[in-house]
C-alpha cells in the first residue's frame, strides 16, 4: 500500500516480523513515540513494552517487545529488539 509505513522488527534471535501500518506507537525510553507517514527521520532507544500499530483497514495490532532501538526513515520503521512476542489477535477499530 502506497500510504502505509513499512514496519520491520528484527530480534537478536533472528525472529522477524514485517507489517504495513498507517500508525505506530512504540515504548520509547522517555515515553511512547508515535509514528505516522512522512515522519521526520528518527532514532530512538526503546524500553520493553507494548508496540501498537493500526492497519489500513482499521484493525489494531499489538506485540510485546524487549528493549532495543527504533529507526524511522522514508516511511520505513525498523525495530531491533531483544525479544518479540507474537502479535496479538487484531482488534476491531473503535467506532465513535
Express each pLDDT in 10-19 by its tens digit: 999 888 899 9
Whether 79 contacts 51, CB under 8 Å: yes
Which one, of 7, 4, 2, lies nearest residue 72 by Cα? 7
CA dist., res. 8 & res. 79, Å (int): 6
pLDDT at residue 2 is higher than 90: no
Q: Cell triple for residue 35? A: 509514528
Class of domain 5-81: mainly beta
| pLDDT tens figures, 42-81 | 999 999 999 999 999 999 999 999 999 999 999 999 999 9
Query: What is the model's pTM?
Result: 0.86
Q: What's the CA gap between 14 and 24, in Å, rounded? A: 22
| Cβ contact 15:5 at 8 Å | no
pLDDT of residue 1: 53
Q: At residue 39, does pLDDT exceed 70?
A: yes
Amino acid at each position: 500500500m502506497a500510504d502505509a509505513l513499512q514496519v520491520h522488527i528484527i530480534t537478536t534471535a533472528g525472529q522477524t516480523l514485517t507489517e504495513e501500518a498507517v500508525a505506530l506507537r512504540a515504548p520509547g525510553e522517555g515515553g511512547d513515540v508515535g509514528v505516522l507517514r512522512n515522519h521526520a527521520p528518527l532514532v530512538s532507544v526503546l524500553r520493553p513494552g507494548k508496540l501498537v500499530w493500526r492497519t489500513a483497514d482499521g484493525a489494531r495490532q499489538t506485540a510485546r517487545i524487549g528493549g532495543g532501538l527504533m529507526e524511522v526513515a522514508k516511511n520505513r520503521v525498523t525495530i531491533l529488539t531483544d525479544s518479540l512476542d507474537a502479535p496479538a489477535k487484531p482488534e476491531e477499530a473503535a467506532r465513535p
